[in-house]
Amino acid sequence: MTMKRIFKPNFKKAENAAIELHSIAKTKELPVKVRKMDKFFDDLTIKKYSWYAKEWEMTLEEVIEYLGSDEGCCFYLKQFDSYLILYNENIDTNERIRWTIAHELGHYMLKHNTKSKRAILGRGGLSDEEYDMYEKEANCFARNLLAPPVAVTNLNVFSTDSLIHICKISLEAANNTYNFYDNGFRMGKTYNTTSKIGRQFSGFLNKVNNNKRCDNCEMNFSIKNSNYCVVCGSGNISHNYLIKGEDADMIYPGYATNGNHKPITCPRCENEEININGNYCSTCGFYLLNTCTNNLHDQSCTDDPMPTNIRFCPYCGAQSTYYYNGLLVNWEQIKFPERNKEDPFASNNTPIYISEDELPF
């Protein structure tokens, strides 16, 4: 008597394999850099179909025919005991390419080639049940890799739209992912940020969940409990989950620092010999850290140093010490430079652009 093998996808295993890959890659933010995942393994290389075509002097059509897929494949090379993930870079969207690579990484991480004893996983030679099992596991893996549940379900805005923009996945994948995690919630599943994988994404979650965008000056910044725009002082700020906003975001310059909000040169007298331990300029005596002026008056607000481009306190809306002392120009002069061409009182103080990393907090 022969026993019929039962092929049932193991979703828990696929989910854990994605967590394992995030742990190996020390992923801290989204979107996940799937194309670069091969650098963490000695036996894995990720290449485009065009590379393979050139290498073997084949046409793209021949590559598709040979690999049995017009999207991608995970190829086990027995002679080298290593894996080659190939993806068709001509697929119409970047989002679909990302999913394909993540899916193939699933086959790699879950050792499907070994299990199926196939150099290339394909329908050929496998029963439908067995093939479908590998495919379902690889898709589950891809979902958990590109949209880690602990990261996306703990976003203030968990929606199909936020999944599309934050995870860089297609609308179809975002819909499926959203419904899948949402069903999980209904069944009592929780994704705790205190887990190991949760802690990996905690900085990212803080940043996204506290991110605001000003409707007035279009500044994008991430400060917890902020009530006012740090550049124009407007209370008209709204939550915005796109950290590095799109092109519409304005960059408002401040002064170059050595990383702890302390400027490299004194913004008032341009003295370069700033004592790293002291907070006052040794030449003109200026307090070098940008803080809330309300705190200077009556200690009613925070004395935390703020980035050097901040003009208004995010908590109370008072002017910052830099802005109060005329060291930063009004936001409108940056947003609408053509307006102050004829203005004889416009500041001729040209602030230094600070690095991307310092903007905003």
Rounded to whole angstroms, the Cα distance separating 332 from 347 reads 12
In the set 10, 16, 202, 216, which binds Zn ion (CB under 5 A)? 216
- Interaction between residue 19 and Zn ion (CB under 5 A): no
- Interaction between residue 155 and Zn ion (CB under 5 A): no
Residue whose C-alpha is closest to residue 118's, from 76, 63, 84: 76
CA distances from 334 to 31, 189, 250, 351 (A): 31, 48, 9, 11
- Interaction between residue 281 and Zn ion (CB under 5 A): yes
Span near Zn ion by CB under 5 A; candidates 19-27, 31-39, 156-164, 206-214: 206-214
Strand order through the sheet with 44-48: 44-48, 82-87, 72-77
Structure tokens at 348: 């001729």
Residue whose C-alpha is closest to residue 139's, from 39, 10, 254: 10
Sites for Zn ion among residues 123-152 (CB under 5 A): 138
- Interaction between residue 306 and Zn ion (CB under 5 A): no
User: For residues 298 and 338, which CB has a smaller minimum distance to Zn ion in the complex?
Assistant: 298
Beta strands 237-239 and 72-77: pairing type?
Answer: unpaired
User: For residues 204 and 323, which CB has a smaller minimum distance to Zn ion in the complex?
Assistant: 323
Structure tokens at 189: 């599943």
Span near Zn ion by CB under 5 A; candidates 92-100, 175-183, 298-306, 343-351: 298-306
Neighbour count for residue 354 (Cβ, 10 Å): 19
Neighbour count for residue 133 (Cβ, 10 Å): 20
User: For residues 98 and 268, which CB has a smaller minimum distance to Zn ion in the complex?
Assistant: 268
Structure tokens at 43: 């036996």
User: For residues 175 and 325, which CB has a smaller minimum distance to Zn ion in the complex?
Assistant: 325
In the set 143, 168, 268, 311, which binds Zn ion (CB under 5 A)? 268
Cα 256–Cα 270–Cα 349 angle in degrees, nearest 5 = 75
User: For residues 141 and 315, which CB has a smaller minimum distance to Zn ion in the complex?
Assistant: 315
In the set 86, 145, 266, 289, which binds Zn ion (CB under 5 A)? 266
User: For residues 192 and 236, which CB has a smaller minimum distance to Zn ion in the complex?
Assistant: 236
Sites for Zn ion among residues 28-87 (CB under 5 A): none
Interacting residue ranges for Zn ion, rule: CB under 5 A: 138, 214, 216-217, 219, 229, 231-232, 234, 266, 268-269, 271, 281, 283-284, 286, 292, 294, 301, 313, 315-316, 318
